[in-house]
């Protein structure tokens, strides 16, 4: 049985994430020490105590969520559970690449902090918007985005059948939301984010971020890594770097990533890190695969036991 580890992206963070594993496992404490030393502040304190407003600042969220995810990965590794393949949703790609041996954890926390700062400064407050559109198919929504007259809007995340996130200029996103409702969408919900991620409004940010990655030590992946922008298995370091830059301004093909993993023989998915957002999406993409999650000792032990019984 092939197992994929999948890592959550921004939006899965919460004050208290990782605390239970930290209190129980020495290797997890070491992970938080490395992150704190790399970033120059107490990542454990920030993650466990917040406040929420500070943790939700993009340049804090990104390295803190990465740290919580790698803490869960280290906990699994301590029980001898390793993935056959990895993928991550947006920011989660960095956790996936650490798990695949393509990036050192210490480097990844610094890279994600820089990514957060660049994203935060990319588009003036109030100019961009993202929205979740529920209950409409991909082609219909793509056609709607192409028909909008008040500016630029495009699909940012193809999450699962019936759940797509759009991103772009505020007026254009609002027009697309109204048109989607007219076309039969069940809901169109603006998201509480100020950065229009995964849209061409982030191209300049991607160019700046490319310079950050130029000085990073990115290696070939030693585990199958499925990338967001193409939903294909890649391992070459140069290709990974190019993919991470493109991911800033291109759509996250999450539904396709999961399908690629299943086509490669994966039949069990473990969401590694806070929350169960990806577990819910995977369930809607394919109801036949086994889905687990690890975010604390209870879920770690349950997952280890159930995976062991499937071997």
CATH number at residue 33: 3.40.366.10
| β-bridge pairing 233-234 and 187-190 | unpaired
The DSSP element (H or E) to which 130 belongs, if any, is: strand 128-134
* Same-domain pairing of 179 and 228: no
State the chain's mean pLDDT as an integer: 97
- Per the CB < 8 A criterion, the answer to whether 167 and 173 are in contact is yes
Q: List the CATH number of the domain containing 140.
A: 3.30.70.250
Query: In the prediction, which pLDDT does 257 show?
Result: 98
* Same-domain pairing of 97 and 218: yes
Residues serving a catalytic function are 90, 198
Q: Give 45's contacts (C-beta < 8 A, 6+ positions apart).
A: none
Query: In the prediction, which pLDDT does 308 show?
Result: 85
Q: Which of 194, 215, 250 is the last residue of a domain?
A: 194
* Same-domain pairing of 115 and 137: no
* Same-domain pairing of 58 and 99: yes
* Overall domain count for the chain: 2
* Same-domain pairing of 138 and 116: no
| β-bridge pairing 153-160 and 187-190 | unpaired
What values do phi and psi take at 160, rounded to 5? Answer: -170, 170
Q: Which of 152, 179, 194 is the last residue of a domain?
A: 194
Query: In the prediction, which pLDDT does 213 show?
Result: 97
* Same-domain pairing of 171 and 142: yes
Domain that includes residue 67, residue range? 2-122+201-310
Residues in the chain: 311
pLDDT digits (tens, 9 = 90+) for 122-140: 988 889 999 999 999 999 9
* Same-domain pairing of 174 and 251: no
* Same-domain pairing of 26 and 167: no
pLDDT digits (tens, 9 = 90+) for 80-119: 999 999 999 999 999 999 999 999 999 999 999 999 999 9
Pick the closest to residue 86 from 159, 6, 10 (CA basis): 6
* Same-domain pairing of 83 and 143: no
């Amino acid at each position: 049985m092939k197992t994929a580890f999948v890592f959550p992206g921004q939006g899965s963070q919460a004050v208290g994430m990782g605390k239970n594993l930290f209190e129980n496992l020495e290797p997890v404490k070491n992970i938080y020490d490395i992150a704190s030393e790399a970033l120059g502040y107490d990542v454990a304190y920030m993650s466990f105590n917040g406040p929420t407003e500070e943790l939700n600042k993009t340049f804090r969220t990104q390295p803190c969520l990465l740290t919580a995810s790698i803490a869960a990965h280290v906990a699994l590794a301590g029980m001898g559970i390793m993935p056959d393949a990895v993928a991550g949703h947006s920011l989660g790609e960095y956790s996936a690449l650490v798990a695949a041996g393509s990036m050192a954890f210490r480097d990844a926390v610094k890279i994600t902090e820089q990514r957060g700062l660049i994203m935060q400064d990319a588009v003036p407050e109030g100019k961009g918007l993202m929205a979740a559109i529920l209950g409409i198919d991909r082609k219909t929504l793509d056609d709607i985005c192409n028909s909008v007259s008040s500016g630029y809007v495009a699909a940012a995340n193809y999450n699962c059948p019936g759940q797509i996130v759009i991103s772009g200029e505020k007026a254009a996103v609002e027009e697309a939301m109204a048109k989607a409702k007219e076309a039969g969408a069940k809901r169109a919900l603006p998201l509480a984010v100020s950065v229009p991620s995964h849209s061409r409004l982030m191209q300049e940010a991607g160019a700046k971020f490319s310079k950050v990655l130029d000085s990073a030590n990115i290696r070939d992946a030693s585990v199958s890594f499925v990338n967001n922008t193409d939903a294909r298995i890649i391992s070459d370091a140069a290709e990974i770097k190019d993919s991470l830059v493109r991911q800033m301004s291109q759509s996250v093909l999450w539904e396709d990533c999961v399908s690629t993993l299943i086509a490669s023989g994966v039949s069990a998915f473990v969401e590694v890190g806070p929350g169960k957002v990806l577990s819910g999406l995977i369930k809607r993409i394919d109801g036949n695969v086994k889905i687990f999650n690890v975010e604390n000792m209870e879920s770690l032990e349950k997952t280890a036991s159930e995976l062991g019984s499937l071997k």
